Chains A and B, each alone.
Chain A
Amino acid sequence: MALDPKPARRGDPTVAALLTWFLPGAGHAYLGQFGLGLALFALVDGLFFLGLQLSNGMTFEFLDPELRSPFAPVLSPEIGNLGGMLWQMRNHGFGPGIVRPFPEAIVFGSMLAALSGVLNGLAMCHAHTLARASSVQVAHRVLLPTAAGFVVPGLGHLMQGRRARGLVVFALLMSCFVLGTLLAEGSNLSRERHFYYWAGQFGIGLPGMLAELAFGKLRVTSDIPYVDGGLVFGCVAGMLNLLALIDVYGWSESQELGLPLKSSEPESPAPAASKVEIRL
């Protein structure tokens, strides 16, 4: 990958990211990219409100009554789209306080709303990079592998040419997720049953969403011996993929913007400069 030839600051990266968090696309508009900002707004909030429509705004009613508080939904993927989540809490909240049937499409709707949170998180990263990059293309190149890592764990590393790392990430995370699903006999795929475990597991990306669409409505007819282990495996796999995504993002950023690579090992001391004697 080529180094960004003219790194320039278009605006404050933190302000751009925070604006995007509150309103998708606002950070890009702040950086002068109005068209891109509008497209992101349409995509992220379009998905969010479609999900809200399909779920009738009842996603947070999955939470048991004793878990409901103003901060209870903070640990859900929707937090990535803060403005949307606040809107949902204000207009729907935890429902009227009576038990009522969930709409037929609530699984898909709830998934779309959660997906909008993840997409807005990616948009925040894009805005943060764009504020420091010389062109939109540079920001695209930084973000594309990160988004790919959400589609399939390890794919972002593969796109960066880090094959061994990508394969290890894929093998470890997918084996944890599949094993977790087998141990929990598919009950981990239900957001209604395990709201918070599901939130962590959502980080595994597209494989998790496809598995939920295919097996998310399995009935639990008997005691599941290793359900706790299964839930932990699925949840940890999703959260570890978020670490992998940060690694992908950091690598792309260092390649494109010329930033130092992250390392826990101390840098070896630079060789001492040779003495130059000047004789008059």
Chain B
Amino acid sequence: MSGVLVHIALFLLMGTAIVTLGTFYSDADDGRARQAWPRRMLGFFGGCLVLVVVMLVCEHTFASLG
């Protein structure tokens, strides 16, 4: 379990870095970047959550050895 938590913590840090730098790259203006950042964070982590659910469903159906 602790391994999963470590992976989640590492993913959150990496995701935050990717989204923040992506926002800076897209919006040169600080005000606009600050406005866009929460929406981008939500989109990134929400998308990742959907992907995790899809992969878990696939794992327990198509790829299930049982």
Residues of A within 8 A of B (CB): 162, 164-165, 168-169, 172-173, 175-176, 179, 183, 226, 229, 232-233, 236-237, 240, 243-244, 246-247, 250-251, 254, 261-265
How far is A248 from B6 in the complex, measured between Cα atoms in Å?
A: 33
Q: Is the C-beta of B21 less than 8 angstroms from some C-beta in chain A?
A: yes
Given contacts A175-B13, A229-B10, A243-B24, contact A261 B18 (CB under 8 A): no
Cβ-defined partner of B28 (8 Å) among A229, A240, A263:
A263
Contact, CB under 8 Å: A265 / B36: yes
Which chain A residues lie closer than 8 Å to B26 at the CB level?
A: 262-264
Given A168-B20, A169-B21, A264-B36, verify A247-B14 contact (CB < 8 Å): no
Fill in one digit per residue for B1-38: 1 if any A CB lies within 8 Å of its CB, else 0.
00000110010011011101110111111101101100
A176 and B14 in contact, given A162-B30, A261-B29, A264-B36 (Cβ under 8 angstroms)? yes
Which residue, B6, B13, B28, B35, has most C-beta atoms of chain A within 10 A?
Answer: B28
Chain B residue with minimal CB distance to A240? Answer: B21
With A169-B21, A233-B10, A240-B21 as known contacts, state yes or no: A261 contacts B16, CB within 8 Å.
no
Q: How far is the CA of A225 from the CA of B29 in the complex (A)?
A: 41
Residues of A near B17 (CB, < 8 A) are 172-173, 176, 236-237, 240
Specify which chain B residues have a CB less than 8 angstroms from the CB of A251 in the assembled complex. Answer: 28
In chain A, what residue has the closest Cβ to B22? A243
Q: Is the CB of A164 within 8 A of B36?
A: no
A176 adjacent to B24 (CB under 8 Å): no
* B6: A residues at CB distance < 8 A: 226
- Known A165-B33, A244-B25, A247-B24; 14 more pairs at CB < 8 Å: A162-B30, A168-B24, A172-B16, A176-B14, A233-B14, A236-B18, A243-B22, A243-B25, A254-B28, A261-B29, A262-B28, A263-B28, A263-B32, A264-B32
